[in-house]
Each structure stands twice: as structure tokens, then as C-alpha cells.
Amino acid sequence: MLGQEMLNEKKWAVVGDVLNPSKFACIIKNRLIGNGYQVFPVNPRSQSPEVYHSLGEIKEGIDVIDLCINPHTGLDIVKEAAALGIEKIFIQPGAESEEIIDFCKEKNLQNYLGCVLVELSKRGM
């Protein structure tokens, strides 16, 4: 599945440092929200009540997960996604690993390695 196809989905979980305006997770979260997407911010280490600590805390359905987090933690997130039936994983540069890609293949999860900001820009967003 291509990044442009994933952008057709409207409910995203952005995983990473989603409250730090200098980090890509926060920039991506805000850009998606600004373009009409429903975004659930996730950071397993955050103490903020504004942020989910796991995908399982989100009661609404998630269409796509955007990984903006270190690959070790990202693998745990992808495993949780698979267990929850979330099948689309957008993997930002630097968040990828062979283990994540192999796990996605093993579980038939659709994944795309690229930058959400670039894909949004292609749509003029």
C-alpha cells in the first residue's frame, strides 16, 4: 500500500513525542489535524493526560498508525496494533527496522516507509 492510499483513511494514531513542537511527531499530528484528520496522540512515556499511553486506550477505531518513535518501542506498538486488528502502519524515516518490516510481512500488515509530511504536500495539504 502506498502512502497516498493511507492518506485516504481519516483516523490516525501518531506515535512519538507528540507534544514537543520541535519533533516530527508533533508537526505531523498538527498537520493531520489541520487537514481534517482525526488524530489520537500516543506516547508510551508521556505523563500528560492529553496523550494516550497505548493504542489499547483508544476506544475509537484507528485506520492508520504513524510511527515516529525509536524502532525498539515501535516494534512493541506494531505488535499491539496487530493484536488490536489495526492493519495499516505508516513508518517514518528513522522509525523503521528489519524487525518491524518482517513483523508486518508475517502478520500481513500493510506498511509504507516514508514521510507523512511529504505525502500531504503531494496533495497540496
Name the residue ranges covered by the structural domains of the chain. Answer: 3-63+72-122
Cell of 11: 483516523
CATH class of 3-63+72-122: alpha beta
Q: Is 70 helix (H, G, I), strand (E, B) or coil?
A: coil
Structural contact between residues 12 and 96, judged by C-beta atoms closer than 8 angstroms: no
Could you identify the residue written with the cell 500531504?
A: 120
pLDDT digits (tens), the chain, 125 positions? 689 999 999 999 999 999 999 999 999 999 999 999 999 999 999 999 999 999 999 999 999 999 999 999 999 999 999 999 999 999 999 999 999 999 999 999 999 999 999 999 999 99
